[in-house]
């Protein structure tokens, strides 16, 4: 019997359905439970990407079961939840799909109740419905099926016969959905035919539905076992039996997306990765955020003084040239911090290196005077040449790793560039073991680099995580670089750059990745 430690209050356990795999299919309540907990207990049917919602310092406990071994017995998981709660912790038990559908939530909740521990059951989207939907199979249809049965297929044939009344199931419902029954597909098909289902009844198996690894095979009750064997089709998978499977031919929407089946590693700073991640998801891919750089305000006294001095000479500048969104954001942060009114730069014209930088300025009510046709800092001068006058002063709010081409060329033309490091780029403290495992399993298909620093820092982060030869780990993965400067850095590091857009923008990069992946698929 557990004894509550003196002075400690009991915690609470949230039994949360994580949905079928796509992390965006978790409920808002489920996401809240993850973000507030002290420890999350999860298995392999819950997307690791959901763990990004954890608060700093939250503990992660993996208790998932694999087909060939059990990491932790169910009784031990039940007791673990009790023990953690008795330590006064807020616990989220994250379970794939819905916890009440073959999720054994009743056993976990009962032990919590017996120990006087408060708990909540948070429903999730069950794989029995979501996975077929992602394969283009609605489980009900007005003309094909008006009822649905969800059946476990994980038991041995003897237990299946004890828990399933084959004659009633076969004849009493329209669509049959079996969860966890890949290894028993032959026996399931045999029993359904034996009890009255036509041998030509359509069947579909969807493996890892809603995820980048989703794979679907179809056949009939008569043929499906051989099809599964020939395809070496492995669990976990959802089995759908019924005429609704025919809808897949017209309705398969997810697998037709340009980036379906593609996992893309994003290495840029987390604050800048959201746009890229959203575009990847829209096109059917899976973004894997692995920031290897962080940006921050400089703290070195000399740098801070130089920024302060330059901004206090606002009236003397003829130009402000922005070469990144970060430059814009930190420039305005400094103005706010130093209480400097933007109107003091009334004399200055504004140039930006690309549309995203220009857009960041427009959001602040400033419209650029010059925007280059090509979106590289080197090309900005070509667009500016007819506007520049010898003797003009140019403010360059940039990062500490900015290239020297622009200030050097401005000097050569007789202008006075004033460079200020409004932000600095540092190595991210990233210890994402889930991402490292994906790389080791060759489950990452594309790596994106949006700057030279992301290239060099990825190698350094991997070394810090214990990877002896990062270059070897990254071999065979498509390398996508936003522009020629970044591509050169990647090639100098030994990587083979396979994707590079004509326009050095995030949109251009995504389009180039999608085009490349379509070539792979065809």
Catalytic residue among 22, 38, 43, 432: 43
Cα(91)–Cα(84) distance, integer angstroms: 7
Rounded to 10 degrees, the C-alpha dihedral 505/511/515/518 comes to 140
Q: Is 23 helix (H, G, I), strand (E, B) or coil?
A: helix
**Element spanning 91, H or E:** strand 90-95
- Decide if 8 is catalytic: no
- Decide if 180 is catalytic: yes
| Beta strand 478-481 pairing with 446-449 | parallel
Tell me, rounded to whole angstroms, the distance of Cα 79 from its chain centroid.
Answer: 32
Q: Are 180 and 236 a contacting pair, CB within 8 Å?
A: yes
Catalytic residue among 180, 184, 432, 503: 180
Cα(428)–Cα(354) distance, integer angstroms: 26
Taking each helix axis from N to C end, the angle separating 301-311 and 325-338, rounded to the nearest 10 degrees, works out to 80
- In a 10 Å sphere around its CB, with 0-12 CB exposed, 13-18 middle and 19+ buried, how is residue 467 labelled? middle
Range list of β-strands (E), 96-157: 118-122, 148-152
- Decide if 65 is catalytic: yes
Taking each helix axis from N to C end, the angle separating 377-384 and 405-412, rounded to the nearest 10 degrees, works out to 30
Cα(169)–Cα(210) distance, integer angstroms: 27
State both tokens at 199. Answer: 């041998």
Q: Is 510 helix (H, G, I), strand (E, B) or coil?
A: helix
Catalytic residue among 65, 337, 413, 488: 65
Q: Are 478 and 468 a contacting pair, CB within 8 Å?
A: no
For residue 195, cis peptide bond before it (omega within 30 degrees of 0): no
Place of tokens 């990407």: 49
Taking each helix axis from N to C end, the angle separating 355-362 and 325-338, rounded to the nearest 10 degrees, works out to 30
Neighbours of 454 (CB within 10 A): 27
Catalytic residue ranges = 43, 65, 180
């Amino acid at each position: 019997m557990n004894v509550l430690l003196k002075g400690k209050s009991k915690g609470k356990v949230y039994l949360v359905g994580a949905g079928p795999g796509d992390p965006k299919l978790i409920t808002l309540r489920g996401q809240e439970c993850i973000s507030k907990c002290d420890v999350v207990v999860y298995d392999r049917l819950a997307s690791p990407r959901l763990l990004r919602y954890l608060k700093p310092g939250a503990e992660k406990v993996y208790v998932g079961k694999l087909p060939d071994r059990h990491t932790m017995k169910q009784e031990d998981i039940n007791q673990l939840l009790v023990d953690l709660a008795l330590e006064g912790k807020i616990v989220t038990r994250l379970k794939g799909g819905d916890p009440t559908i073959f999720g054994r939530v009743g056993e976990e909740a009962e032990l919590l109740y017996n120990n006087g521990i408060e708990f909540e059951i948070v429903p999730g989207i069950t794989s029995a419905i979501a996975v077929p939907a992602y394969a283009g199979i609605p489980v009900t249809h007005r003309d094909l099926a008006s009822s649905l049965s969800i059946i476990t297929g994980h038991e041995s044939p003897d237990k299946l016969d004890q828990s399933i009344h084959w004659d009633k199931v076969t004849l009493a419902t329209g669509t049959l959905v079996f969860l966890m029954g890949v290894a028993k597909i032959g026996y399931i098909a045999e029993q359904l035919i034996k009890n009255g289902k036509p041998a030509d009844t359509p069947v579909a198996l969807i493996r890892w539905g809603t995820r980048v690894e989703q794979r679907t095979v179809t056949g009939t009750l008569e043929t499906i076992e051989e099809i599964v064997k020939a395809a070496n089709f492995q669990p976990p998978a959802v089995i759908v039996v019924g005429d609704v499977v025919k809808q897949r031919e017209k309705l398969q929407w997810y697998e037709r997306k340009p980036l379906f089946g593609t996992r893309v590693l994003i290495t840029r700073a987390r604050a800048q990765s959201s746009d890229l991640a959203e575009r990847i998801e829209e096109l059917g891919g899976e973004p894997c955020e692995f920031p290897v750089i962080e940006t921050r305000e400089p703290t070195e006294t000399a740098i801070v003084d130089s920024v302060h001095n330059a901004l206090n000479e606002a009236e003397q500048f003829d130009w402000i040239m922005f070469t990144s969104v970060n430059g814009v954001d930190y420039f305005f942060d400094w103005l706010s911090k130093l209480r400097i009114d933007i109107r003091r730069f009334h004399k200055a014209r504004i140039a930006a290196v690309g549309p995203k930088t220009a857009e960041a300025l427009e959001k602040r009510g400033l419209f650029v005077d010059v925007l280059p046709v090509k979106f590289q800092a080197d090309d900005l001068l070509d667009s500016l040449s007819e506007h520049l006058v010898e003797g003009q002063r140019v403010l360059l709010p940039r990062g500490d790793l900015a290239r020297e081409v622009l200030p050097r060329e401005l000097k050569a033309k007789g202008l006075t560039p004033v460079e200020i490091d409004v932000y600095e780029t540092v190595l991210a403290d990233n210890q994402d073991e889930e991402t490292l495992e994906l790389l080791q399993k060759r489950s990452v298909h594309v790596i994106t680099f949006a700057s030279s620093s992301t290239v060099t820092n990825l190698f350094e982060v991997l070394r810090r995580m214990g990877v002896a030869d990062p270059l070897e780990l990254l071999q065979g993965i498509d390398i996508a670089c936003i522009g020629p400067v970044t591509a050169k850095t990647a090639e100098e590091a030994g990587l083979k750059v396979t994707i590079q857009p004509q326009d050095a923008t995030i949109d251009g990069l995504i389009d180039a990745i999608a085009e490349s992946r379509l070539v792979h698929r065809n």
